[in-house]
Chain A
Amino acid sequence: MTEIKPAVKPRSAMVGNHRSFSWITEKICGIAEEKTPVWWWWCFAVACIVASFTVIGITYLVATGVGVWGHRNPVNWAWDIVNFVFWIGIGHAGTLISAILCLLRQKWRTSINRSAEAMTIFAVVCAGIFPVFHVGRVWYAWFLFPLPNSNYIWQNYRSPLEWDVFAVSTYGTVSVLFWYVGMIPDLATMRDRFNAVGKTLKARLYGFFAMGWRGSSRHWSNYEMAYLILAGISTPLVLSVHTIVSFDFAVSLLPGWHTTIFPPYFVAGAIFSGFGMVLTLILPLRAVYHLEDLITQYHIDCMCKVILATGTMVGYAYAMEFFIAWYSSNPYEGFAFINRAFGPYWWSYFIMIACNVITPQFFWFKGIRENTTLVFILSLFVNVGMWFERFVIIATSLARDFLPSSWGYYSPSIVEIFTFFGTFGVFSVLFLLFIRFLPIMAIAELKAVTPQADPHAGHDSSH
């Protein structure tokens, strides 16, 4: 019998132009080491001005009261939770890239995981602002955590909102840890480079956070195992976080919210929006720093395909919600969906469908995936669409529930709009600082996926 060998499919190169190890080090470290470019200062200044909207909006809220937001009966919960879910969802792509793609051995994650993880952390920061300040007397926000207080009363663990406190704070903490652990070898690289040029203070600072990493193989062995376990636990974590976020709605009894499809639908939407944001951030970064050899067309292709897949899943969920609303014969459920698409918020529903279901379909075409400008514009639509998805779900269900006599119409106040607008500044400030001071790509991991990193390179694979 002749032995049948599987076809050998040529793999796409993860690093273009056969770049060497030292080229990678030089390229990535150079970004943080060079003199601060002028464009950076301009962006930073604009980001600070935008961020000040959040600072001012929140200061005004704390000084006056939650009434400065547009929440009125029956919509007591609107932009704050919309913005919270929007930002948390964006964060999820970072964890997906770093954890799930790590477990699936998708090597293309290596050049984007660091910046995507940074995006996750900064998005969680922006997300956290809204629920924390929505509690009203923000100095009592610590009541959310199980700390003994003078009322002797404990948190209500039967509430999904309390689950959310644990889910989001765990998510934030684990994301920071994962990001930091991944960065240790690269911080050591930067420490050594600063030492070599005699910048002792910087070398000490980076060295402090590098923990004295020296690239020992015995350390790498434990390190890789720890990294794998962190990836392994971050995967169920990211899925559980958005599941619990969706429980905030699904566990209630409101028509349009009380559905079992919410957890998977929210997770798919989160990944969809997150990849949109990753592209929005990475494409300009790639152009500014000429990172085409590290973020190749193959990487962009992969991300576009993930957006296509998850966008289509989200579209399926929209359709299935409608089907179930009809099939369940529940008049309230049926009304909730007719009202969503054709009620007073019809415009937001159609923005959502256009951005989330139609936009990603363009990514079927190779020509579009290869047009970076177009990909960037489409990624912006994804971001917009996913914000509207949360708005549609939250505002339409609350504004028109069971009793027509208690219906209302919600519009945000100017304070709310400014506070949300400002979070893009907060996010940008943090991201710009990240670009300036930290290695924006996982240097050690990138080297490990180059062909010359294979110890059997150039030999036969007999040993």
Chain B
Amino acid sequence: MAEKPYGLIATFDTPGALMHAAEQVRDAGYMKWDCITPFPVHGLDKAMGVRRSKVPRISLAGGITGFCTGMSMIWFMDRFDYPITVGGKPLFSPLFAFPVSYELTILFTAFATIGGMFFLNGLPMHYHPVLNYEDIRRGTDDLFFLVIEKADARYDAANTRALLEKVGGKLVNELES
């Protein structure tokens, strides 16, 4: 086994078993741990004690930026920088500037949402100790894993292993860092 392990990993067969285990690991007070699932398991956030995602705040900021960009861009171009009267219409009005600003609101929100999701998730990260685990490929197929990091304050090789076995984890192994 590795000299400096990253943590312990346990395997579960069903989402139900994983959820049950997650509740107990959460109640045991661990902070730096994670579940690996092939699809989003409904209710696992709550079982893990994960707080509501912060992505919406970033999206909102993106949306506001987009709308202001649209309005100010059109004002600057058609009213300020090079005013031309077309069809006797006003040089600037928020009404005709609205469709473009609306589209830019959506465009900027989309970029902010996806950028925000990557940023909060710390992706792209092509190297990760979890990805080195032999069986992990089934974590994107049909198996479920629970990982407790060594960096957690409560981590103790023997006790943590005992906890993982107690909550129903199969094949509890050390992860190389």
Contacts and interface: CB of A to CB of B under 8 A. Distances in A.
Q: Do A and B come from one complex?
A: yes
Interface of A: 20-22, 25, 146, 152-160, 162-163, 166-167, 170, 173-174, 177-178, 181, 185, 188-189, 191-193, 195-196, 207-208, 211-226, 229-230, 233-234, 236-237, 240, 244, 247, 444-445, 447-448, 452-459
Contacts of A452: 14-15
B4 interface: no
A192 B136 contact: yes
A188 B43 contact: no
Contact of B114 (A166, A177, A217, A236): A177
Contacts of B121: 216, 218-219, 222-223
Contacts of A213: 123, 140
Most buried by A among B109, B127, B130: B109
B42 A212 contact: no
23 contacts: A154-B82, A155-B77, A157-B78, A157-B96, A163-B103, A170-B107, A185-B38, A189-B38, A192-B141, A211-B118, A213-B123, A214-B131, A214-B139, A217-B37, A218-B48, A222-B116, A222-B120, A224-B53, A236-B106, A444-B38, A447-B39, A454-B15, A455-B43
Contacts of B109: 229, 233
Contacts, number: 220
Contact of B78 (A25, A156, A160, A247): A156
A218 B44 CA distance: 10
Given A170-B106, A220-B41, A448-B40, 8 more contacts: A153-B82, A167-B103, A215-B37, A215-B140, A222-B53, A225-B52, A229-B55, A458-B16
Q: How large is the interface on B (under 10, 10 to 19, 20 to 34, 35 or more residues)?
A: 35 or more
Interface of B: 14-16, 18-19, 22, 34-45, 48, 50, 52-56, 59, 63, 73-74, 77-78, 81-82, 84, 86-87, 89, 96-97, 99-100, 102-104, 106-107, 109-111, 113-114, 116-118, 120-121, 123-128, 130-131, 136-137, 139-142
B14 A163 contact: no
Contact of B74 (A157, A177, A181): A157
B141 to A, nearest CB: 5
B73 A146 contact: yes
Contacts of A188: 140
A444 B38 CA distance: 6
Contact of A207 (B18, B73, B84, B126): B126
Contacts of B36: 214-217
B59 to A, nearest CB: 5
A457 B14 CA distance: 9
Nearest to A23: B142
Nearest to B37: A215
User: Which 7 residue pairs spanning A and B have beta carbons closest together?
Assistant: A21-B142, A154-B77, A192-B137, A226-B117, A225-B53, A211-B124, A217-B35
Contact of A22 (B48, B56, B141): B141
Contact of A166 (B77, B96, B99): B99
A191 B142 CA distance: 15
Nearest to A219: B121
Nearest to B110: A174
A191 B126 CA distance: 11
Nearest to A447: B39
B175 to A, nearest CB: 12
Contacts of B106: 170, 174, 233-234, 236-237, 240
Nearest to A173: B107
A222 B110 contact: no
Given A189-B141, A223-B121, A444-B38, A244 B99 contact: yes
